């Protein structure tokens, strides 16, 4: 009997959970090892969304369609804002689909700690799995809305519209990855701050709306005076939207310097978000 107890006690541990105190004590290997949990979160969030609605996944199509109609009437017909010679529906729909993915990632990850305080306090798992699963869930929504955009693209192309897809279309996966990184980084950064400053939860939605109008969604970058374009380049999403339009529609002010600045700012935001998130997750339950 004693031999059995001794042999059991000498078995090596498969997982050791210890405290980390440093700012850069980040273990991304745990995130990879929890990929099955991330998949479960993705399935749960996506299924839970459309099972509680009457129209189900159709909402993913109706939202960009309604927004495109409103933008076409207000900004295209009434305000008569130029669209670089592109069909107004395609111009607005392209920007809306791109923006929706980024905005959804930012909005839904910015409430990670507060919204999941109950489950975080009951069981251990890498907390970063939750915001990462949100980004992946939104990727499914993006795929549905992007397919809608391609349907309209082929429709206008067959009608004879002057649409010229450029070789920049090959950079689409990188643009998508950058949007995911930017939305995730900024979202978890805000989520970390909301554990102490709860007012940020109410500011995020309003701030994202203002940010949209600072991004060339309803107007092309060509309408910005040359001397002020550098200011708009400080907005990482501006270069992403313009590059996407140039890639699929053949019009847009794409500059390598602006893209490099956009990528650099995205990397900085993501790094700051991961560092802050990893720091706060060790102590946030004390402030909830």
Tens digits of residue pLDDT in 126-176:
888 999 999 999 999 999 999 999 999 999 999 888 788 888 898 899 999
Check residue 272 and give its pLDDT.
92
Q: Are 144 and 174 in contact (CB under 8 A)?
A: no
**Model confidence at 5: pLDDT above 50:** no
Evaluate if residue 26 carries a pLDDT over 70.
Answer: no
> Average pLDDT in the 35-45 region?
87
Greater confidence, 255 or 1? 255
Whether residue 56 has pLDDT greater than 70: no
Q: What are phi and psi of 102, to 5 degrees?
A: -65, -45
- Specify burial of residue 63 (Cβ count, 10 A radius: 0-12, 13-18, 19+): middle
- On average, the pLDDT of the chain sits at 84
Residues 6+ apart with CB under 8 A from 103: 183, 208, 212
User: What is the model's pLDDT at position 135?
Assistant: 94
The per-residue pLDDT for range 100-117, each reduced to its tens digit, is 999 999 999 998 887 777
Q: Looking at residue 285, what is its pLDDT?
A: 55
Distance of CA 275 to the CA centre of its chain: 18
Q: Supply the pLDDT for residue 265.
A: 94
pLDDT at 30 over 70: yes
Q: What DSSP state is assigned to residue 55?
A: S
Contacts of 238 (CB under 8 A, 6+ apart): 214, 215, 216, 221, 232, 258, 262
pLDDT of residue 9: 52
Q: Dump strand ranges (E) for 13-67.
A: none
Of 23-37, 53-67, 88-102, 223-237, the range with the lowest mean pLDDT is 23-37
pLDDT in tens, 43-55: 888 777 666 666 6
User: In the predicted model, what is the mean pLDDT of residues 215-230?
Assistant: 87
Break the chain into its structural domains and give their ranges: 29-286
pLDDT confidence of 284, banded at 50, 70, 90? low
- Tokens of residue 71, six digits: 């933008």
Which among 226, 224, 90, 225 is positioned nearest to 159, based on CA atoms? Answer: 90
Question: CB-based contacts of 257: which residues, under 8 Å, 6+ apart?
Answer: 233
3-state secondary structure 213-255: HCCCCCCCHHHCCHHHHHHHHCCHHHHHHHHHHHHHHCCCCCC
Inter-residue contact 103 to 190 (CB < 8 Å): no
| Alpha carbon distance 181, 110 (integer Å) | 13
Averaged pLDDT, 19-32? 63
What's the pTM value of the predicted model, to 2 decimals? 0.86
- Higher local confidence (pLDDT), 175 or 60: 175
Mean pLDDT across the stretch 211-218?
92
For residue 4, is pLDDT > 60? Answer: no
Closest CA to 91 of 101, 79, 103, 83: 83
pLDDT of the residue at 134:
93
Task: Examine the pLDDT at 13 and tell me if it is beyond 90.
Answer: no
CA dihedral 212, 213, 216, 219 (to 10 degrees): 140
Nearest alpha carbon to residue 177 among 127, 136, 233 = 136
- Top pLDDT among 68 and 250 is at 68
């Amino acid at each position: 009997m004693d031999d059995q107890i001794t042999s059991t006690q000498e078995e090596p541990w498969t997982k050791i959970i210890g405290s980390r105190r440093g700012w850069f004590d980040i273990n991304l290997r745990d995130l990879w090892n929890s990929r099955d949990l991330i998949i479960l979160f993705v399935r749960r969030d996506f299924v839970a969304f459309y099972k509680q609605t009457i129209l189900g996944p159709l909402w993913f199509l109706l939202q960009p369609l309604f927004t495109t109609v409103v933008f076409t009437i207000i900004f295209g017909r009434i305000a008569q804002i130029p669209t670089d010679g592109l069909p107004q529906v395609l111009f607005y729909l392209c920007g809306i689909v791109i923006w929706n993915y980024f905005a959804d990632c930012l909005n839904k990850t910015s409430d990670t700690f507060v919204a999941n305080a109950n489950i975080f306090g009951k069981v251990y798992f890498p907390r970063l799995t939750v915001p990462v699963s949100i980004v992946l869930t939104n990727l499914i929504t993006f795929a549905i809305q992007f397919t809608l955009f391609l349907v309209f693209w082929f429709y206008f192309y067959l009608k004879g519209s002057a649409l010229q897809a450029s070789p920049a279309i090959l950079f689409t996966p990188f643009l998508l990855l950058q949007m995911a990184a930017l939305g995730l980084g900024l979202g978890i950064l805000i989520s970390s701050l909301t554990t102490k400053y709860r007012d940020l939860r109410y500011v995020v939605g309003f701030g994202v709306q203002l940010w949209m109008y600072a991004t060339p969604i309803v107007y092309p970058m060509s309408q910005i005076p040359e001397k002020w374009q550098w200011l708009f380049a400080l907005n990482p999403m501006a270069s992403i939207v313009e590059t996407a339009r140039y890639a699929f529609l053949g019009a847009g002010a794409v500059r390598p310097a602006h893209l490099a600045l956009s990528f650099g700012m995205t990397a900085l935001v993501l790094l700051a978000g991961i560092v802050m998130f990893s720091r706060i997750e060790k102590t946030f339950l004390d402030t909830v």
